[in-house]
Amino acid sequence: MNRKNRNKAGHFITLEGGDGSGKTTQIELLSDFLGTRGIDVHITREPGGTRLGEALRKIILHNADPIDDKVELLLMFAARSQHVTNVIKPRLSNGQWVLSDRFTDATYAYQGGGRQMGIKDIAVLQNFVQGDFRPDKTILLDLPVEQGIRRLTRRGKTRDRIEQQDLAFKQRVREAYLERYRQCGSRITLVDAAAPVHEVHKAITIEIEDMLSSLGYGNGD
């Protein structure tokens, strides 16, 4: 790591988007980009990120028995509490940048929008688990639902409980994400995920370059 960056604070960036939006690819590309700027990066995901979180992820996404919507919501926040406390905050305190494949905006989209659960209930749990802790920047990869489904089909992988939901569920997820974008102001940047991979990456890096500049990272840092 460049000596000038060692004492800079860590920052928390999340990538959000519906199924097939390309988050996994873009988070790896963003990590590589930040690495070229001498920034120490940790990639994580939700649900998951810890041993407990990964165990809960398996239940949430692959449990053979039906899961009540309220149970699903509570499991998401249980995993998130462990994740924030044991991984995200300690790494930020040590000066690392944390990139997360989904965070709380996904709960508003999938459980709030997709499952049609109460936004107020989600907000109460968010406050209980996170307090005022929020990402420094969120990149929302927006993609038409039908295109996301086609991408999942081309991958040929077995779909999890969430990916198996119907078209109406996925449309509600997309609309809930867009509502988060409208509500959360400059924290969330909307990116057209239907564009080619290199164009999506370019749009993300332009946004992150602005962030780096505001934080005092010069081109040579």
Residue 57 domain flag: yes
CATH number for the domain that contains residue 122: 3.40.50.300
Is residue 215 within 8 Å of residue 137, measured between CB atoms?
no
Range of the domain at 206: 3-214
Q: Would 186 be classed as within a structural domain?
A: yes
Would you say residue 221 lies in a domain? Answer: no
220 inside domain:
no
CA atoms within 13 A on the CB side of 41: 19
**The pLDDT of residue 42:** 98
174 part of a folded domain: yes
| φ, ψ for residue 178, nearest 5 deg | -65, -35
| Torsion (CA) 193, 83, 79, 120 in degrees, nearest 10 | -70
Q: Considering the domain boundaries, does residue 30 fall inside one?
A: yes
pLDDT in tens, the chain (221 residues): 343 444 578 999 999 999 999 999 999 999 999 999 999 999 999 999 999 999 999 999 999 899 999 999 999 999 999 999 999 999 999 999 999 999 999 999 999 999 999 999 999 999 999 999 999 999 999 999 999 999 988 987 778 899 889 999 999 999 999 999 999 989 999 999 999 999 999 999 999 999 999 998 866 55
C-alpha 18/C-alpha 177 separation (Å) is: 8
Query: pTM of the predicted model, to two decimals?
Result: 0.92
Identify whether the C-beta of residue 108 lies closer than 8 Å to the C-beta of residue 137.
no
Report the pLDDT value the prediction gives residue 3, as an integer from 0 to 100: 37
User: Residue 221's pLDDT is what?
Assistant: 54
Q: State the pLDDT at residue 207.
A: 96
Q: Is residue 219 part of a domain?
A: no
User: Domain for residue 22, yes or no?
Assistant: yes
Total of domains in the chain: 1
The vertex-16 CA angle with 14 and 18, nearest 5°, equals: 165
